[in-house]
Chains A and B, each alone.
Chain A
Amino acid sequence: DTEVTQTPKHLVMGMTNKKSLKCEQHMGHRAMYWYKQKAKKPPELMFVYSYEKLSINESVPSRFSPECPNSSLLNLHLHALQPEDSALYLCASSQDQARSSYNEQFFGPGTRLTVL
């Protein structure tokens, strides 16, 4: 099973709302990622969790707050977003670096977020 699932598929929120994006994988991967993708651009890395610990934060504004409750789940909490935060938010997972030097990442279908 090489599937990463994400919910919801679509989300529309106002600038004062609080919402959460969810991601799940059951491949036994120990690294999980959040990416942001704008139209006609490649994905941009936001956060990396390795063994449930935050290992990379690519200078993401604090209105985005990641959480990794366990090795299969990854959340992204959203609060006070701006219209320019509208994008496709992709979750990905991979084996940990120590076990796989190639570290292929597998992406979920994404959540398409619109901030009004």
Chain B
Amino acid sequence: RKEVEQDPGPFNVPEGATVAFNCTYSNSASQSFFWYRQDCRKEPKLLMSVYSSGNEDGRFTAQLNRASQYISLLIRDSKLSDSATYLCVVNTGSNSGYALNFGKGTSLLVTP
């Protein structure tokens, strides 16, 4: 079983739509959680860290459910510029806490 699993998509949504991405992780000892965004042929960029209480940054809301080992990202009022691959990333705390486990990414295409 993969450590971090995501629906690969692609998700094709019209501008203005709300879209939700889900992610599950297998290691219950995981300590920290992130969503990264990666544009084609570019580096991953940190979108949000995901905290136990949930957190919001503008149109983006991240939730963590430790009991279900589940992380979500909600994007409201989608923009064309939101088109990218969204990577769910988990730090299991192994390897001295440095190693991140990446999901395979969910592809989002926002259309006019």
Chain A contacts to B: CB under 8 angstroms: 31, 33, 41-43, 45, 48, 50, 55-56, 88, 90, 94, 97, 101-110, 112
Contacts and interface: CB of A to CB of B under 8 A. Distances in A.
A108 B46 CA distance: 12
Interface string B88-112: 0001000111111011110000000
Contact of A102 (B43, B49, B96): B49
B59 to A, nearest CB: 20
Interface in B44-90: 44-46, 49, 87
A104 B95 contact: no
A34 to B, nearest CB: 12
Given A101-B31, A103-B91, A94 B98 contact: yes
B25 interface: no
B87 A50 contact: no
B42 A103 contact: no
Given A97-B97, A112-B41, 10 more contacts: A42-B105, A45-B100, A48-B98, A50-B98, A55-B95, A56-B95, A56-B98, A97-B96, A97-B98, A110-B42
B22 interface: no
Nearest to B95: A56
A107 B43 contact: yes
Given A48-B95, A102-B32, A107 B100 contact: no
Contact of A101 (B32, B42, B95, B100): B32
**Of residues A90, A103, A108, which shows the largest number of chain B Cβ atoms within 10 Å of its Cβ?**
A103
Contacts of A105: 46, 100
B98 A104 contact: no
B100 A109 contact: no
A31 B98 contact: yes
Contacts of A110: 42-43
